[in-house]
A and B are shown apart, each in its own frame.
Chain A
Amino acid sequence: MAVAVIKYNAGNIRSVTIALERLGVRGTVTDDPETIRKAEKVIFPGVGEASSAMAYLRSRGLDTLIRSLEQPVLGICLGLQLMCRRSEEGDTDCLGIFDTDVTLFPAEDKVPHMGWNTVTQLRGPLFEGIPEASFMYFVHSYAAARCSQSTAQTDYIRPFASALQKDNFFALQFHPEKSGELGQRILKNFLMLEKGAV
């Protein structure tokens, strides 16, 4: 299966390609528009800072490309945040795929939100076989507000959207590649999606 992992100026893409390898899939890490457009699945991972990431994507035309993709696309962590309308981080206009905004956690507890937390109100094909209130691994300081496109929510300081979906665009705030067997199942569910079925 041709899986493109979008390469940009964000860290920790390696753990995603290793997780794909564990599932017997070789991901191609690339910023080549043609390779991304032709891939059966596209993963948009990343850990980093929103404004510099968006600037990088715009400078290569990847922002327009990502929005125009028709195959299943999976944003992870910063990827999810960049797929929203706006991020408070660096006061950044993002891709606007999801109708929600990203804000910094209030400093009422430790920030980043780091560790294992539950995902609830699960819906959609990625959560097939995933029990309600399963634990997933999170590391982030900013989070998206819940909206009609939320497919999972998590509570830390306040409830936030831990997964989103709109048509062929999926996104997870947690790291499925680091969330044990259940996280691996979510990745597998994504890889098994058929084009046009969502």
Chain B
Amino acid sequence: MLTKRIIPCLDIRDGQTVKGVNFVNIRRAGDPVELARAYAATGADELAFLDITATIEKRKTFAELVARIAHAINIPFTVGGGIRSADDVARLLDAGADKITVNSAAVRDPGIIDTLASRFGSQCIVLAVDCKRQAGRSIVFLDGGRTPTSRTTLEWAKEAVSRGAGEILLTSMDHDGTKQGFALDITRDVSEGVNVPVIASGGAGNCAHFAEVFETAKADAALAASIFHFGEISIPDLKTYLHERHIPVRLT
């Protein structure tokens, strides 16, 4: 049976993990490679790395980091942050990334999804959508949630899939950082509205939140950052919890 995926996400700036990371038994918590190894060893199904480096020059550092990660772990990983062109994607895939995310660049020029999917294959093109509820509708936001657009979330997800996106990473800005649970309504709408896997992101605070995003909102995968980094939930404990509730997970 296909299992639900648990995906820790690491924010990277200048080749180092951002935010305090308090991971058990890690000496150099700032080193993304060490963290990646630790997560892979404890049963993460996939990893995500988001580059929040401000300057173009420093992006080379990220590609070098991707190459080091690719050599260190043997599970799939997705990278994203500031990807604007096929050249950006080629550089990261060549470094060893399995999938890339496009976000703002795709909203500004949706044709980039067609270009990337036909050149690299849909299986490695993940559309990242940051959404927020406004006047009762879920709206797509850009630039890390700062800039609203005129697009509604479900309509944009459907268009992106028709253009070749192979997966949707849906982050609810209303829920991100709250630890009050994932956005169940919009996650369910998108998951039932498109025929590609949907990764829910934003709001994970405890094990029950994961169970409800898989069961109620039909997410295929769930992504979280701080609760894993600070050891509030360990991946083995989370998977045992889900397994006991008959939610299919990969037990290692």
Contact = CB atoms under 8 A, between A and B. Distances in A.
Interface in A82-119: 107, 110-118
Interface of A: 11-12, 14-15, 18-19, 21-22, 47-49, 107, 110-118, 135, 137-140, 155-156, 175, 177-181, 183-184
Contacts of A18: 70-71, 96
A110 to B, nearest CB: 6
A183 B74 contact: yes
Q: Which of A15, A107, A155, A179 has most chain B Cβ within 10 Å?
A: A15
B8 interface: no
A116 B74 contact: no
Contact of A156 (B2, B95, B96, B124): B2
A47 B197 CA distance: 18
B221 interface: yes
A116 B3 contact: yes
Most buried by B among A22, A115, A156, A179: A115
Contacts of B221: 115
Contacts of B95: 14
Interface string B9-34: 00000000000000000000000000
A45 to B, nearest CB: 13
5 contacts: A15-B70, A115-B2, A137-B76, A177-B74, A183-B74
Contact of A114 (B1, B75, B121, B123): B123
A11 B121 contact: yes
Most chain A CB atoms below 10 A, which of B120, B123, B221: B123
B45 interface: yes
B196 interface: yes
B2 A116 contact: yes
A134 to B, nearest CB: 10
A177 B98 CA distance: 11
A112 B164 CA distance: 12
Given A12-B98, A139-B123, A112 B2 contact: no
Contacts of B94: 14
B216 interface: no
A114 B74 contact: no
Contacts of A21: 71
A116 B252 CA distance: 11
Contacts, number: 88
B203 interface: no
Closest 4 CB pairs of A and B: A116-B250, A135-B250, A139-B123, A178-B76
Contacts of B4: 115
B202 to A, nearest CB: 20
A21 B70 CA distance: 11
A168 to B, nearest CB: 26
In this complex, which of B74, B123, B196, B197 has the most chain A Cβ atoms within 10 angstroms of its Cβ? B74
Contacts of A15: 70, 96, 98
A138 B98 CA distance: 12
Contacts of A181: 74
Nearest to A17: B96
Contacts of A12: 93, 98, 121, 124
B40 interface: yes
Given A18-B71, A110-B196, A115 B220 contact: yes
B100 to A, nearest CB: 12
A183 B74 CA distance: 8
Interface in B179-198: 195-197
B1 A19 contact: no
B118 to A, nearest CB: 9
